[in-house]
């Protein structure tokens, strides 16, 4: 008669075999996890090395000639800025995909022009467009569908745009206006700089005229300067007064930031005269002083 509270000989043998198998599984899982981590580390190291190689690379003569012809602001840049700038252009071209829309053909001239303008904003900064993977290019202005909320009612409407910047990408551009904005480098209007200013603003997690600042750059001083200048612009626009800053900047703080970035690079003396504190804050942010480029 078998006691129900005790294991039989066969049952005991099976239990011992199960216990012996457990230790053999653990090392396999550990080795697998270690292998995955090693592969991940190798890929990260390889990616970092490729990035550093690109950042230290230069454009060839043809690429440089295309940029000088299509983005004339480059002809005013100090020599010491060109080397790091060319490396960032190469990094941009290596990491961002360009897609033509509505039958638009993306050429090397197109990619070089957009990359050159976008990278000027980060030429002297460690900050990068880390959330951006794609740039969409339309031949001209394009239709964009937006949602507007009024209480519990949400309405959709289509608007015509020349550029858009989405949170975490992509950036959408009209080539007609991209080309014009680059060619007219003293008019204060540049759609690429505008949209990529939004991309920098969004790196903080919000597009709200409060981009990530360096430790030695006072957030309080930034906020005070931008709030005062934005308030003045809104008041001037409401009163119908002419302004150096494009009235579109009065529509929202994030648009104010993007508009003054355009002015900072293309009409720096005018911005400094009209809003010296804004010029000072942007000069600290970009680590650049465009007034001395002319």
pLDDT at 2 over 60: no
- How would residue 119 be classed by pLDDT, with cut points 50, 70 and 90? very high
- With b for 16 or more beta-carbon neighbours within 10 A and e for fewer, the 45-54 pattern comes to eeeeeeeeeb
Place of tokens 């078998």: 2
Angle at 251 between CA 250 and CA 257, to 5 degrees: 65
Asked whether 90 and 125 are in contact (CB, 8 A), the reply is no
Structure tokens at 231: 């308030």
Structure tokens at 68: 């000088």
Element (H, E) at 138: strand 134-138
Scanning 124-267, the segments in alpha helix (DSSP H) are: 175-183, 191-202, 219-238, 253-266
Q: Is the peptide bond before 170 cis (omega within 30 degrees of 0)?
A: yes
Element (H, E) at 277: helix 276-286
More confident site: 46 or 56: 56
Q: What pTM was estimated for this model as a whole?
A: 0.84
pLDDT at 166 over 60: yes
Closest CA to 188 of 246, 233, 235, 148: 246
pLDDT at 23 over 70: no
Closest CA to 282 of 192, 180, 201: 201
What's the rounded Cα separation, in Å, for the pair 200 and 190? 16
Sequential DSSP letters for 12-57: HHHHHHHHHHHHHHHHHHHHHHHHHHHHHHHHHHHHHHHHHHHHT-
Asked whether 286 and 125 are in contact (CB, 8 A), the reply is yes
Domains and CATH numbers, the chain: 47-200 (1.10.472.150), 208-294 (3.40.390.10)
The string of pLDDT tens digits covering residues 120-158 is 999 999 999 999 999 999 999 999 876 665 565 666 677
The string of pLDDT tens digits covering residues 186-201 is 999 999 999 999 999 9
More confident site: 153 or 223: 223
Three-state SS letters, 185-199: CCCCCCHHHHHHHHH
What's the rounded Cα separation, in Å, for the pair 279 and 268? 7
* pLDDT of 13: 52
* pLDDT of 1: 43
Asked whether 191 and 260 are in contact (CB, 8 A), the reply is no
Chain length of the chain: 294
What's the rounded Cα separation, in Å, for the pair 172 and 180? 16
* pLDDT of 5: 45
């Amino acid at each position: 008669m078998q006691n129900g509270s005790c294991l039989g000989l066969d049952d005991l043998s099976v239990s011992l075999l199960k216990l012996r198998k457990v230790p053999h599984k653990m090392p396999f899982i550990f080795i697998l996890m270690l292998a995955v981590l090693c592969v991940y580390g190798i890929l990260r190291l390889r990616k970092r090395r490729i990035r550093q190689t690109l950042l230290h690379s230069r454009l060839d003569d043809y690429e440089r000639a295309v940029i000088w012809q299509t983005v004339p602001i480059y002809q005013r840049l100090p020599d010491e800025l060109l080397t790091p700038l060319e490396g960032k252009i190469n990094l941009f071209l290596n990491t961002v995909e360009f897609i033509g829309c509505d039958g638009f053909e993306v050429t090397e001239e197109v990619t070089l022009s957009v990359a050159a303008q976008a990278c000027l904003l980060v030429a002297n900064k460690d900050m990068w467009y880390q959330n951006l993977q794609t740039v969409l290019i339309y031949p001209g202005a394009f239709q964009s569908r937006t949602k507007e909320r009024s209480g519990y009612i949400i309405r959709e409407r289509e608007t015509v745009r020349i550029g858009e910047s989405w949170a975490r990408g992509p950036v959408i551009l009209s080539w007609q206006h991209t080309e014009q904005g680059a060619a007219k480098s003293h008019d204060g209007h540049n759609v690429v700089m505008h949209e990529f200013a939004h991309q920098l603003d969004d790196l903080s997690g919000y597009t709200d005229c409060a981009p990530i600042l360096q430790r030695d750059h006072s957030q309080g001083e930034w906020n005070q300067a931008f709030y005062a200048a934005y308030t003045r612009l809104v008041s001037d626009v409401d009163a119908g007064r002419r302004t150096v800053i494009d009235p579109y900047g009065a529509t929202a703080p994030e648009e104010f930031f993007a508009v003054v970035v355009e002015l900072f690079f293309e009409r720096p003396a005018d911005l400094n005269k009209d809003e010296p504190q804004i010029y000072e804050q942007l000069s600290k942010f970009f680590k650049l002083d465009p007034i001395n480029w002319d």
